[in-house]
Amino acid sequence: MAAEDPSVSGVSGRYATALFELARDQKSVDAVKVDLDRFEAMLADSADLKRLVRSPVFSAETQSRALTAVLDKSGISGISANFLKVLTANRRLFAVTDVIRAFRALVAKFKGEAAADVTVAETLSDKHLDALKAALKTVTGKDVALNVKVDTSLIGGLVVKLGSRMVDSSLRTKLNSIKHAMKEAG
């Protein structure tokens, strides 16, 4: 399965595939996805957790103790918690965001959804997310799972990557185009 999808390859793809197959067999794909989404949100909100995950300075034992405390406090348990602990024990916790992205791609494929990476300048409301999903559904003919990231440097607008297609309607890109055109004219 991993070889069929270029976004699910390498070490992160192998881990994501193993987790997906286990979650599918246990009929808990949705629960695991919710847990991983929660862990990724915690990672985005905490510089300390990012440092713990990415820094090779921490021993596996230190990472494991700290991760266990974080998981217990957040209520992440079962397959998801055990999986994150395995990543830690195998010294692969630094790859967790790639594993989560690959897991999402596998879930989307399993559910017959298309997956889109969306980068926005500021957090979108549920109404705007629904409108974006509806617009992408008309393009793909499938339900679309969104992986949304916020990047304030876009200034405004959004960037959507869907498969091999990308639409960049960010204000930053438009301003750069204007600046480039003015240099050529001058």
Same domain, 83 and 29: yes
26 and 99 fall within a common domain = yes
Same domain assignment for residues 65 and 151: no
Question: Which domain range does residue 122 map to?
Answer: 113-185
Indicate whether 128 and 155 sit together in one domain: yes
In the chain, the number of structural domains is: 2
Q: Examine the fold and report which residue of 75, 107, 139 is the final residue of a domain before the chain moves on.
A: 107
Per-residue pLDDT tens for 74-95? Answer: 999 999 999 999 999 999 999 9
Which of 107, 122, 147 is a domain's end point? Answer: 107
Q: What is the pLDDT of residue 94?
A: 94
Q: Which residue type occupies 46? A: S
User: 25 and 102, same structural domain?
Assistant: yes
Listed as ranges, residues in the chain with pLDDT below 70 are 1-7
Statement to judge: residues 128 and 67 lie in one domain: no
pLDDT value for 71? 95
Non-local (6+) Cβ contacts of 54 within 8 A are 94
Provide the pLDDT for residue 7.
56
